[in-house]
Amino acid sequence: VIGVGGTGVMNSVLYALATLGFNREVLVQAPYYNNYKGQVENTMSFVNGTMNGLKFNLDADPELHTTFEINTYPNNPDGRKRAPLVSDPSRVIYDCVYNWPQYTAIDEDPLEGDIMIFSASKNTGHAGTRLGWALVKDPEIADKMREFVARSLGVSIDTQLRIYSVLKSINSDFVAEKSGFYDWGSSTMNDRFDQVDSLFGESGVMREIEFVNRKERGAYVWLKCLKGIDCQRVLREEVFVEGNSGIQYGVGGEYVRIQFMARSVEIEQFLISLKNFFEGGDKLGRGYEMRDGDGGEGRTMGMGMGRGGGC
């Protein structure tokens, strides 16, 4: 089933869940992608003439047949591949938008989820073209998803042709000869992570900041300020980088996520700035106590993907 980005495809899955049953709850494990909550809570459907919605519930009982889990595989923000809490595979939705070689080691035994969502956004970086797709085992769910997509008259043919030509191009002999798109992507990302690794050293901790996803890696750098201080502020005011606070991902503000799919020139600046910060002293000073939702102005370089704060 195709849809408007991974987001549109996820919306179509949620619509199918709301249409095919009552009182369904959606569970995710923290830290989780910040958009899911709103997506779940905005899903409504009529069932037998009755308005039916979904509930976003982090404490939903995984054993109940009404509980469904979104498992981001690998995860945004921390790159981990987690086992689902829900053991019934028909009740797990895998969000696989980062399951590409540039972000993770591809499993020897490929994942075989009942519902697996992918997207051109993270595959080749064509987020603005808005194409997502899902592999769905249950034909009834797939039909409901298509019904949802059809309500907005489907996915733009221009979008489909654009991504078709992008995929053709990355599979071309020319790209293959130059060692392949995914080899290039994974060596670029690994090289970036190696540099962060070397700044943090053996222990993975510098100036009381821990490099949490040093093993898992992924599409982001996920940091934790060990003293429980506001890590987003530390990065903003000391490293001049605007990250996303862990609060958005259902964990505390001692975490911060740094965009790592950015342009090389931005990554180089980030690495220089982080090195300068590490060389500037041994401990974080006072003045970084946690202030939830603090949106202070700092001298920062934006490392976003230029498509708003949703990613």
Ligand X SMILES: Cc1ncc(COP(=O)(O)O)c(C=O)c1O
Question: Under the rule (CB under 6 A), what is the footprint of ligand X?
Answer: 5-7, 33, 72, 76, 95, 97, 119, 121, 127, 132, 311
**Residue bearing tokens 């809490």:** 85
- Nearer to ligand X among residue 126 and residue 144 (C-beta): 126
The DSSP element (H or E) to which 92 belongs, if any, is strand 92-95
Q: Which is nearer to ligand X, 131 or 209 (CB)?
A: 131
| Nearest to ligand X of 81, 275 (CB atom) | 81
**What would you measure as the largest C-alpha separation in the chain, in angstroms?**
65
Residue 61 CA, distance from chain mean position: 24
C-beta of 229 vs 256, nearer to ligand X = 256
**Residue 244: count of CB within 10 angstroms of its CB:** 20
* Shortest separation between residue 303's beta carbon and ligand X, angstroms: 14
Residue 133 beta carbon to ligand X: minimum distance, rounded to whole angstroms: 10
Residue from 53, 48, 50 nearest 18 by CA: 53
Closest CA to 119 of 194, 235, 211, 219: 219
Minimal distance, residue 98 CB to ligand X, in Å: 7
CA pair distance 184, 253, nearest whole angstrom: 34
Residue 97 CB, shortest distance to ligand X, in Å, is 4
- State the minimum distance, in angstroms, from the CB of residue 307 to ligand X: 8
Q: Which residue's Cβ has the minimum distance to ligand X? A: 5
Min dist. Cβ of residue 118 to ligand X (A): 8
Which residue's CB is nearer to ligand X, number 114 or number 208? 114
Enter the DSSP assignment of 58.
T
Instruction: Write down the least CB distance from residue 99 to ligand X, Å.
Output: 10
CA 29, 293, 5, 67 dihedral sign is: positive
Q: Is 184 helix (H, G, I), strand (E, B) or coil?
A: helix
Give the residue with the Cβ less far from ligand X, 166 or 284: 166
Looking only at the bridges linking them, the beta strands covering 25-27 and 55-56 are parallel
What is the distance between the alpha carbons of residues 156 and 49, in angstroms, rounded to a whole number? 31
Give the HSE-up count for residue 169: Cα atoms under 13 Å, Cβ half-sphere. 7
The tokens 């019904």 sit on which residue? 147
Of 132 and 206, which has the nearer Cβ to ligand X? Answer: 132
